[in-house]
């Protein structure tokens, strides 16, 4: 939906044909034939049904209705006279007469200029309201395998309307827009089930968390907006944050910054909600399947071991066998298989990259609007050495969830491996600015960018972070910098640690670096520095004795 709306508003509605939609939205190749492949038609029909259901229910009072008529992919924007008006703005430029009932304000791709003033504001609020109900391929759309304990289901969160005191100075319209946009932002993470924005959201059955908030007045004309995340089971506040020094008009730009920070902080895989969920999830059993496999697979990446890899992979394989329509299961399975291939847990004979590509393609086919599915597709194509296709899949994933630091981190890491260090660092800086606790595996790629830029001070700073001791690449970085700093004891210590905890990786480091698809000049430099570290440690042994 976001794609067809954006294209129409940009005066490119004439390009909205089945072929172009397939390439831009569903990542199909140039050989795609819309006559024999019905994916675009099927998804368009699904979108029309969801739009109709939304406007017949929770969107009944929305000021703008978005319609996509049969036989066309160009949306119409219908101004509805029965809804509450948006806040007053200067509308002298508007030259559209209103009928007593409703009128189209953009019936053709040549008319986006009509969306001005209050109408444009209302349209963007309508899109935000729809985004998490219609535009996202969320986990909740998939058929649950079975009703089980709380950890076997995806977390659910209700976003309550903001408390708005009369003296707050912020309008109800702006506060409602922010609440809806927050819900839409959380929904982009897919594996969070987002409940309807409702004053009584806490009463909805099955709600695990409630995000509540309120507006207050700061100094002068400035305001603040506070949020708190409440665990519904025991009514405990597990997180809170206040955004200060906000203007009274609370523009879309200000709201976007709040939404981006909230969504990433709460809904990312190592964010507040999942950290709380990790504490409730027991170790996997031989019959575990479903969402707990996704949770366990996510935990694996911060502290990878062969046992946790085998357990998570087996669990995900059971999941997709029990539920062949589980897009999130296929996406996580593809991601795990690629990581197992890199670390040497799965050999070439097992064809892990081929199996990962099959799983990633299945994930995208099942949920074409899933950012996680396209991220899995990016990883599989990257390790098939289809780099241009891989980057396209990553960009598609980012367009579906621009708030995801995981997607930015994965893409930034890939750029680092291929020698695109400036592009890499720009993305990784965005990740660091968005989260205080970056994933353990990311530290190596921050080191790599500094190392290849010959910035030894910065490289040492990244290496000294404790996360680097938990991954084989991090240990390699520690060995290199210990040698650079002429510390033979630490060279020996980290070599021993690498051999003990990651024996397969340590037994064939050249092969492991090649499996990463690391560019040859980078690989050769790392291997030369490791040989030098080896020689230095051996030469220092007699002195140590």
Which string of DSSP letters, residue by residue, matches 81-143?
A: TTSPPPPP---TT---PPPSSEEES-SSTT-GGG--HHHHHHHHHHHHHHHTTTS---GGGSP
Under 8 Å between Cβ of 225 and 213? yes
pLDDT of residue 515: 93
Q: What is the spatial distance between Cα 98 and Cα 81, in angstroms, rounded to a whole number?
A: 8
CB atoms near residue 410 (< 10 Å): 25
Distance, in Å, from the CA atom of 387 to the CA atom of 389, rounded to the nearest integer, reads 5
Sequence-ordered alpha helix ranges (H) in 485-517 = 488-501, 503-507, 509-515
Cα–Cα distance measured from residue 48 to residue 30, given in angstroms and rounded to the nearest whole number: 26
Question: Closest Cα to residue 379, out of 502, 517, 476?
Answer: 517
Residues contacting 492, CB < 8 A, separation 6+: 537
Phi, psi of 30 (to 5 degrees): -65, -15
Sheet holding 223-231, edge to edge: 193-194, 156-159, 209-217, 223-231, 236-246
Q: Which pLDDT does position 531 carry in this prediction?
A: 97
Query: Which H/E stretch holds residue 375?
Result: helix 371-383
* Distance between CA atoms of residues 136 and 401, nearest Å: 9
pLDDT averaged over consecutive 10-residue blocks of the chain (545 residues)? Answer: 71 76 65 68 77 75 80 79 46 35 44 46 54 44 41 80 74 81 88 70 70 78 86 90 79 84 88 83 78 85 86 93 91 95 81 94 92 96 95 94 91 96 94 75 93 95 86 94 94 94 91 95 97 92 60
Please return the burial class of 473, using the count of CB atoms within 10 Å of its CB with bins 0-12, 13-18 and 19+: buried
Burial readout 227-250 (b: 16 or more C-beta within 10 A, e: otherwise)? bebbbbeeeeeebebebeebeeeb
Task: Please classify residue 74 by burial: count the beta carbons closer than 10 Å to its beta carbon, then call 0-12 exposed, 13-18 middle and 19+ buried.
Answer: buried
For residue 56 the two structure tokens come to: 């017949």
Give the integer Cα–Cα distance in Å for 457 and 353. 37
What are the CB-based long-range contacts (under 8 Å, 24+) for 303-307? 303/440, 303/470, 304/339, 304/343, 304/470, 304/471, 305/501, 306/345, 306/504
Query: What's the confidence (pLDDT) of residue 219?
Result: 64
Residues 6+ positions from 419 with CB-CB distance below 8 Å:
452, 519, 521, 522
| SS3 per-residue string spanning 318-341 | HHHHHCCCCHHHHHHHHHHHHHHH
pLDDT recorded at residue 14: 75
Cα–Cα distances in Å, from 423 out to 411, 430, 466? 9, 11, 26
Where do we find the tokens 């089945």? 18
Name the region of 108 (left: φ>0; alpha: ψ -120 to 50; beta: rest). beta
Number of H helices, E strands in the chain: 22, 8
Residue 162 DSSP label: P
Separation CA 527–CA 511 (nearest Å): 11
The structure's pTM equals 0.71
Of 326, 428, 328, the C-alpha closest to 370 is: 328
pLDDT score, position 143: 38
Q: Are residues 4 and 74 in contact, defined by beta-carbon separation less than 8 angstroms?
A: yes
Q: Of 464, 370, 449, which Cα lies nearest the Cα of 417?
A: 449
* Phi, psi dihedrals of residue 54, rounded to the nearest 5°: -65, -50
pLDDT at 438: 67
Contacts of 22 (CB under 8 A, 6+ apart): 28, 32, 34, 37, 39, 40
What's the Cα-to-Cα distance from 251 to each of 163, 170, 178, 255, rounded to whole Å?
A: 18, 11, 10, 6
Residue reference for tokens 């739009």: 51
Please report where in the chains the tokens 């972070």 appear, as a residue: 465
pLDDT at 285: 77
């Amino acid at each position: 939906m976001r794609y067809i709306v954006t294209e129409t508003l940009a005066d490119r509605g004439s390009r909205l044909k089945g072929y172009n939609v397939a390439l831009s939205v569903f990542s199909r190749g140039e050989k795609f034939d819309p006559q024999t492949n019905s994916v675009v038609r099927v998804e368009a029909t699904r979108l029309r049904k969801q739009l109709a259901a939304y406007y017949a229910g929770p969107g009944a009072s929305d000021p703008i209705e978005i319609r996509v008529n049969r036989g066309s992919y160009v949306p119409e924007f219908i101004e509805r006279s029965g809804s509450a008006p948006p806040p007053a703005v200067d509308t002298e430029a508007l030259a559209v007469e209103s009928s007593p009932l409703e009128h189209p304000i953009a019936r053709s791709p040549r008319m986006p200029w009509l969306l001005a003033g209050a109408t444009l504001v209302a349209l963007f609020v309508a899109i935000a309201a729809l985004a998490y109900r219609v535009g996202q391929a969320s986990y909740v759309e998939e058929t649950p395998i079975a009703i089980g304990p709380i950890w076997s289901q995806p977390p659910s969160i209700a976003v309550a309307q903001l408390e708005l005191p009369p003296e707050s100075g912020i309008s109800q319209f702006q506060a409602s827009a922010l609440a809806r946009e927050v819900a839409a932002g959380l929904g982009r993470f897919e594996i969070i089930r987002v409940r309807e924005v409702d004053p009584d959201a806490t009463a909805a059955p099955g709600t695990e968390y409630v995000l509540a908030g309120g507006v207050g007045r700061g100094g002068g004309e400035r305001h603040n907006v506070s949020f708190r995340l409440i665990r519904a089971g025991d009514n405990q506040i597990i997180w809170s944050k206040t955004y200060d020094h906000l203007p009274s008009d609370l523009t879309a730009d200000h709201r976007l910054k709040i939404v981006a920070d909230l969504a990433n902080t709460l809904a990312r895989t190592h964010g507040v909600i999942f950290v709380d969920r990790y504490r409730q999830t027991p170790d996997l059993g031989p019959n575990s399947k479903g969402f707990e496999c996704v949770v366990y697979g996510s935990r694996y990446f911060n502290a990878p071991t062969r046992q946790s890899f085998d357990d998570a992979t087996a669990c995900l394989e059971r999941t997709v066998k029990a539920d062949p329509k589980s897009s999130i299961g296929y996406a996580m399975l593809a991601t795990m298989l690629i990581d197992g291939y890199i670390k040497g847990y799965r050999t070439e004979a097992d064809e892990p990259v081929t199996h990962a590509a099959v799983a990633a393609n299945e994930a995208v086919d099942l949920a074409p609007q899933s950012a996680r599915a396209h991220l899995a597709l990016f990883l599989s194509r990257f390790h098939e050495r289809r780099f241009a296709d891989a980057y396209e899949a990553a960009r598609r994933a980012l367009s579906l969830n621009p708030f995801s630091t995981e997607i930015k981190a994965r893409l930034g890491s890939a750029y680092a491996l291929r020698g695109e260090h400036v592009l890499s660092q720009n993305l990784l800086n965005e990740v660091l600015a968005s989260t205080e606790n970056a994933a353990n595996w990311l530290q190596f790629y921050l080191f790599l960018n500094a190392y290849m830029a010959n910035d030894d001070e910065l490289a040492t700073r990244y290496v000294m972070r404790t996360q680097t001791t938990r991954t084989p690449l991090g240990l390699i970085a520690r060995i290199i910098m210990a040698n650079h700093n002429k510390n033979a004891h630490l060279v020996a210590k980290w070599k021993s640690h690498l051999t003990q905890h990651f024996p397969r990786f340590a037994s064939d480091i050249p092969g492991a670096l090649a499996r990463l698809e690391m560019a040859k000049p980078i690989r050769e430099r790392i291997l030369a520095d490791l040989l030098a570290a080896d020689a230095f440690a051996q030469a220092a042994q007699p002195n140590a004795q």
